[in-house]
Amino acid sequence: MITNLQTSIDYLKGVGPNRADLLRKELGIHTYQDLINLFPNRYLDRTKYYKINTLYQNTAEVQVIGKITSFKEIAQKRGKRLVATFQDETGTMELVWFRGQKWIREALKTNTPYVIFGKANNFGGKYNMAHPDIELLKEHEQNLRSALQPIYPSTEKLSTRGITNRMMTKIMQNLFIETGGKFVETLSKNLLENLKLVPKSEALLNIHFPKDSEALFKAEFRLKFEELFYIQLQLILKNLIHKSKIKGFPFETVGEQFNTFFKNHLPFELTGAQKRVLKEIRADMGSNAQMNRLLQGDVGSGKTIVALMSMLIAIGNGFQACLMAPTAILSVQHYNGLLELCKDLNISLKLLQGSSKASERREIHEMLESGELDILIGTHAVLEDKVKFKNLGLAVIDEQHRFGVKQRSKLWKKNTFPPHVLVMTATPIPRTLAMSVYGDLDISIIDELPPGRKAIKTVHRYDSNRLKVFQFIRAEIKKKRQVYIVYPLIQENAQMDYKDLMDGYESIARDFPAPEFQISIVHGKMKPADKDFEMQRFIKGQTQIMVATTVIEVGVNVPNASVMIIESAERFGLSQLHQLRGRVGRGAEQSYCILMTSHKQSENSKKRIETMVRTNDGFEIAEVDLKLRGPGDIMGTQQSGILNLRIADIIKDSEILKHARLHAKKLLEKDPSLGHEENAVILETYRQMSKYKNIWNYIS
Ligand code: ADP
Ligand code: MG
C-alpha cells in the first residue's frame, strides 16, 4: 500500500499542530508530499576523520578525534572568550567559544575522547575551530546515522523555535517509517532503463539518507533529470500546441520585392549566418502556423537587414509589416536606414512616434487602413488602439528586453489572425538559459560578424589616468574619428547622476574647447526634439564627441565613431557594458573601448571589467553574467517561476538539461499525445504537475 501523500503534516509523528504551523509558514510545507520534496541544501561529509597535523586552511568542515586538556578565559574588547586546548596524537589546536561559555564549561570534560566538527582556521601558525559541533566519541559511535549528514533549508524562526536540523532529520525519518519508503514511480520504464536512472523510491531514500557518495550522486542525478525533463516536456508541448492551434498566414512565395532587392540592391553579401537565419524565418512564415521566433545576434551582427528582408516577404505576399523599436532615437535611425535601403524598391514606409503631429498621424492611420502603407516603423506608439492595419502580416520587435510580453500580445490583437512575430535581441541569452526559459519559442542565432571587422580593443583605466585618456581622444579626433563618453544613470540615484554628467560635460568642454572641438550632449531629461537634434549633429559628423547617458545604449549606428569611454564602469552590469561597447567597431577602423573606474571596486565589478577586457564574445559574456547574477535577475521576474528549480541548477547542470531536453523532444516526436501505453506514467505525472502547478507537487 502506498500512503496518500496529500495527508496533512499535522498527522505525522513528531510534528503536531505547533510545529506543523511553523513548517507551513516558514517553508510552505503542508503535506507529506511537500515534506518528502524538501531536499537538503548540502551534506556534511562525516565519513573521514582528520589528524591535527593534516589540517589545512580553508578545508571544508572536518572532524577530528581528540581530548580537551585545559580551558582558559581570555578577555577581549567586549566580554571574554573561552578557549580550550584540544589534542590528538599528532598535535594540538584550540577550540573557541564567544557565547554560551558557562554552559560549555560545565558540560565538557577534560581528558575524555570527543569528536569535534567544524571549519578549521589557521591563526598565526596554530589551528583553531570556533563553536565546533562536539560530541562524546562513545555517543558518536553509537549514533552512526548516515555518514553523509543532510542539512535542510531552514529559517531563523525555525531554529529559534527548536526545529533544528536534527529535528528535521528525525521528522523525515518518521515519514519514511510511516510510508515504508514506498513512492509512486514518475518516470517511464524506458527512460529508467535507457538512462540507467535509479527508481523513485531509491532516489528519495538516498537524497534524504545517503548510503554513500555514489548513492547520493545517483539519487541527485535522477531527481535533477526528472525535474528538468518535465519542464522541457511542458515547454515543448506548449510550442507544439501553439503551432497547431494558432494559425498564421502562410506566405506562399518570397515575392517580387524580396527577389528584386536580393538581386539588385543588396549592399553587401550576406554572411552565412544571415542566410541561414533567413531560411529559418522563411520556412516558419511559409507554414500554416504563426511564427514566434527569437532572433539573437550580437551587436553589429547585422540583424536589421534580416528584419528588412523578412518584411519584404510579407509585402510580397500582399501584407503589411511593422518594426518596433524601444526608443525614439532608434526608431528614427531604423527609419532612415530602411528608407535608404528601399529607395529603389516601390515600397511605402512611414515613421510613427509619440511626438508625431496630428496631421501626420491621420495620414498614417489612413494609409494603414487602406493598405497603401507597406511598412510602419515606430516606438510604443505603434501599439495604440487607433493604429489599425489593413492586414498586418509580420511584426518585428527590436531589442525585445525593453518590451514586455503583454505589449507583444497587444500587437497580436490587431488582426483576426495573429501576425508572424520576429523578436530581435542583441542581448545574447546563454544557450542553457534560452533552452529552459524560451524553450517554447523558436530561436535563431546570428553567430558570425560581417567580414572585415576589427576586434574592438578594450582596456581598463583608473580615473587618475584621465589626462592620458584625454590625450588619446585628441589623437583619435585628429584622425577624424568620433568619440562617445557615457555616464551611468541609475534611477534611484538620478539627481546625483545628472550632476556627474553635467560636471563631466563641463570638464570635457574645458579640455576640448570650441571651435576646434564640437560636443554633443544627450540625456533623458532633454526634449525628444533636442535629443534628436544633438544626435543628428553627431551622426552627420558635425560634432566629434558625444557625451551621453545610456540612452545611446540601444542600437545607435555611427560607423565613424571608434572610441567608447565608459565612466564609472564599475556601476554598469555586464550586458550593459557589452551593449555600449557595441556602439563602436562598426566601421573599418580600429576601435577602442576604455572602461574608467575608481580604485574602489567590488570583487564582482572587478570580474566584470576583467571579462570585458578579455573577450568580445557576447555569449561568453552572457555566461559570466549568468554566473555572477544568477538567472532570475537576468530574465526579470516574469519567467522566474520556471527558474524556481528545486534541485537542478541551470548553470551547473547544463549537461543534464541538454539530456533532458533531448529525451523530451524524442519522446514527443514518437508520441505527441503521450497516448502510448509505455508513456502512461509520464502522462499521469504531467497531468498532476499541471494540476498542482509545480513539478514537485505531483507524486501521490
Ligand atoms: P545589429 O545586429 O546590431 O542590429 P546592424 O543590422 O545595425 O546590426 O548592422 C551593423 C552594421 O553592419 C550595419 O552598418 C550594416 O549595414 C552592416 N552589415 C550588416 N550585414 C552585413 C554584411 N553581411 N556585410 C557587411 N556589412 C554588413
Ligand atoms: Mg540593431
The pLDDT tens digits for 204-225 are: 999 999 888 788 899 999 999 9
pLDDT value of residue 164: 86
Q: Is the CB of 257 under 6 A from ligand 1?
A: no
Q: Give me the pLDDT at residue 585, please.
A: 87
Q: What is the pLDDT of residue 401?
A: 54
State how far Cα 437 lies from the chain centre.
9
Q: Which of 615, 636, 656 is the C-terminal boundary of a domain? A: 615
Tell me the mean pLDDT in the region 289-296. 86
The stretch 342-370 carries a mean pLDDT of 93
For residue 113 and ligand 1, the question of a CB distance below 6 A is answered with no
The DSSP bridge partners found for residue 547 are 485, 521
Residue 535, domain member (yes or no): yes
Q: What is the grid cell recorded at 336? A: 532612415
Residue 296 domain boundaries = 255-446
Amino acid at 352: L
Q: 623 pLDDT band (50/70/90 cuts)?
A: confident
Identify the weakest region by mean pLDDT among 238-242, 404-408, 501-505. 404-408
Pull the grid cell for residue 452: 572585415
Q: Which long-range contacts (CB under 8 A, 24 or more apart) does 335-341 make?
A: 335/377, 337/304, 337/557, 338/304, 338/308, 338/375, 338/377, 341/261, 341/265, 341/267, 341/305, 341/308
Kindly list the protein residues that place their beta carbon closer than 5 angstroms to ligand 2, a single-atom ion.
Answer: 555
The secondary structure of residue 384, as a DSSP letter, is: S
Q: Are residues 610 and 686 in the same domain?
A: no
Whether 33 is in a domain gets the answer no
Extract the C-alpha cell encoding 487.
555616464
Give SS3 for 597: strand
Q: Please report whether residue 2 resides in a domain.
A: no
- Residues 442, 297, single domain; the answer is yes
Instruction: Output the residue whose Cα is nearest ligand 1's atom 22.
Output: 450
For 341-351, what is the mean pLDDT? 94
The SS3 call for residue 417 is coil
Distances (CA, A) of 115 to 50, 138, 210: 10, 9, 21
pLDDT: which is higher, 565 or 439: 565
Tell me if 7 is assigned to some domain: no
User: DSSP code of 573?
Assistant: -
Place of cell 523578412: 310
Nearest residue (CA) to ligand 1, atom 25: 450
What whole-number distance in Å separates Cα of residue 250 and Cα of residue 313?
11
Same domain, 380 and 300: yes
With cut-offs at 50, 70 and 90, classify the pLDDT of residue 697: very low
450 lines ligand 1 (CB under 6 A): yes
Q: What percent of the chain lies above the pLDDT cut of 90? A: 52
206 belongs to a structural domain:
no
Which pLDDT value is given to residue 287?
87
Q: What is the pLDDT of residues 116-147, one digit of tens each?
A: 988 888 887 889 999 998 989 988 887 655 57
The CATH number of whichever domain residue 140 belongs to comes to 2.40.50.140
Q: How far is CA 41 from the centre of its chain?
A: 22
- pLDDT at site 636: 42
- Report the DSSP beta bridge partners of residue 350: 376
Give the rounded percent of residues in the chain with a pLDDT score beyond 70.
Answer: 90
Q: How far apart are CA 184 and CA 197, in angstroms?
A: 15
Ligand nearest to the CA of 272: 1
Residue 159 neighbours by CB under 8 Å, 6+ apart: none
Alpha-carbon span 336 to 333, nearest angstrom: 5
Residue-level pLDDT at 640: 40
DSSP states of 79-119 as a string?
A: SEEEEEEEEETTEEEEEEESS-HHHHHHH--TTSEEEEEE-
Please check whether residue 23 lies inside any domain of the structure: no
At residue 477, what is the residue type? I
CATH assignment at residue 610: 3.40.50.300
- Mark which of 418, 446, 474 sits at the end of a domain: 446
Q: Is 375 in contact with 322 (CB distance < 8 Å)? A: yes
- pLDDT computed for residue 116 by the predictor: 94
**Number of structural domains found in the chain:** 4
Longest dimension (CA), the chain: 97
Q: φ, ψ for residue 446 (rounded to 5)?
A: -95, 105
Q: Could you read off the pLDDT of 9-34 as tens digits, one per residue?
A: 999 998 989 999 999 999 999 999 99
DSSP sequence for 464-506: GGHHHHHHHHHHHHHTT-EEEEE----GGGHHHHHHHHHHHHH
pLDDT greater at residue 628 or residue 563: 563
Same domain, 226 and 267: no
Q: Is the pLDDT of residue 406 over 60?
A: no
Give yes or no for a contact between 458 and 612, defined as CB atoms under 8 angstroms apart: yes
Q: What pLDDT score does 269 carry? A: 95
- Ligand (nearest to CA of 554): 2
Mean pLDDT of all residues in 292-296: 87
**377 pLDDT above the threshold of 70:** yes
**Coil/strand/helix, residue 538:** helix
Please compute, for residue 158, the number of CA atoms within 13 A of its CA located in the half-sphere on the CB side. Answer: 21
pLDDT of residue 551: 66
Mean pLDDT of 351-372: 93
Residue 695 pLDDT: 45
The better pLDDT of the pair 418, 599 is held by 599
Ligand 1 contact, 561 CB (< 6 A) = no
Closest by alpha carbon to 488, among 545, 571, 546? 571
Q: Which ligand is nearest to the CA of 326?
A: 2
Q: Which helix (H) or strand (E) holds 537?
A: helix 528-539
**Contact present, 369 and 390 (Cβ < 8 Å):** yes
The mean pLDDT of 648-658, rounded to a whole number, is: 82
**If you ran DSSP here, which 8-state letter would residue 300 be given?**
T
Judge whether residue 289 has pLDDT over 60: yes
302 lies in the same domain as 385: yes
Position 691: which residue type?
Answer: K
Q: Are residues 432 and 566 in the same domain?
A: no
Supply the pLDDT for residue 567: 95
Which of these, 377, 376, 347, lies nearest to 265 by C-alpha position? 347
Task: State if residue 304 touches ligand 1 by the CB under 6 angstroms criterion.
Answer: yes
Cα-based angle 63, 67, 71 (whole degrees, multiple of 5): 110
> What radius of gyration, in Å, describes the C-alpha atoms of the chain?
32
Determine the pLDDT at residue 416: 61
The dihedral over CA atoms of 220, 225, 227, 230, expressed in degrees to the nearest 10, equals -160
CB of 578 closer than 6 angstroms to any ligand 1 atom: no
Q: Contact, 43 vs 216, CB < 8 A? A: yes
445 alpha carbon – ligand 2 mean position (Å):
14
**Residues 6+ away with beta carbon under 8 Å from 194:** none
- The residues, ordered by sequence, that sit 6+ positions from 346 with a Cβ below 8 Å of its Cβ are none
- Whole-number pLDDT of residue 234: 85
CB 598 within 8 A of CB 463: yes
pLDDT value at position 278?
97
Task: Report yes or no on whether pTM surpasses 0.75.
Answer: no
C-alpha cell at 177: 517509517
Please report the atom of ligand 1 found closest to the CA of residue 582: 3
What pLDDT digit, counting tens, does each position of 73-104 carry?
A: 998 887 889 999 999 999 999 999 988 888 88
Domain presence at residue 636:
no
Q: What is the pLDDT of residue 532?
A: 83
Residue 303 CA, ligand 1 centroid: distance in Å: 7
Do 431 and 499 fall into the same domain?
A: no
pLDDT of residue 700: 21
Q: What are the counts of helices (DSSP H) followed by strands (DSSP E) for the chain?
A: 26, 22
Ligand nearest to C-alpha 298: 1
Residue 250's pLDDT band (boundaries 50, 70, 90)? confident
Nearest CA to ligand 1 atom 9: 302
Q: DSSP character for 462?
A: E
Q: Assess whether 310 and 416 both reside in one domain.
A: yes
590, 457 in Cβ contact below 8 A?
Answer: yes
Could you tell me which residue, 244 or 659, shows the higher pLDDT?
659
Q: For residues 353 and 280, state if they share a domain.
A: yes
Q: In this structure, are 346 and 442 located in the same domain?
A: yes
Answer for the pair 607, 479: CB distance below 8 angstroms, yes or no: no
pLDDT interval class at 404 (50, 70, 90):
low
Strands (E), 503-578: 519-522, 545-548, 561-566
* Residue 301 CA to ligand 2 centre (angstroms): 8
pLDDT at position 650, please? 75
Ranking 287-296, 460-469, 670-679 by mean pLDDT, the lowest is 287-296
Given this model, what pLDDT does residue 157 score? 86
Are 222 and 310 in the same domain?
no
Q: Does 341 contact ligand 1 (Cβ within 6 A)?
A: no
**Pairwise CA distance, residues 85 & 92, whole Å:** 7
- Residue 101 lies inside a defined structural domain of this protein: yes
Same domain, 292 and 380: yes
Asked if 402 and 554 touch (Cβ cutoff 8 Å), the reply is yes
Backbone angles phi, psi at 593, to 5 degrees: -130, 125
Going by C-alpha positions, the residue among 370, 426, 440, 374 that lies closest to residue 397 is 426
Quote the CA–CA distance of 284 and 248 in Å, as a whole number: 10
Nearest CA to ligand 1 atom 26: 450
Least confident of 108-112, 312-316, 693-697: 693-697
| Ligand 1 binding pocket includes 337 (Cβ within 6 Å) | no
Tell me what the pLDDT averaged over the chain comes to.
86
Give the three-state DSSP class for 221. helix
Identify which of 503, 329, 430 has the alpha carbon closest to the alpha carbon of residue 650: 430
Predicted pLDDT at 57: 61
Residue 560 CB–ligand 1 contact under 6 Å:
no
Q: Which is nearest to 625 in space by CA: 558, 585, 695, 574? A: 574
Higher-confidence position of 693 and 435: 435
Last residue of a domain, one of 446, 471, 499: 446
Of 299-308, 371-380, 424-433, 455-464, the one with minimum mean pLDDT is 424-433
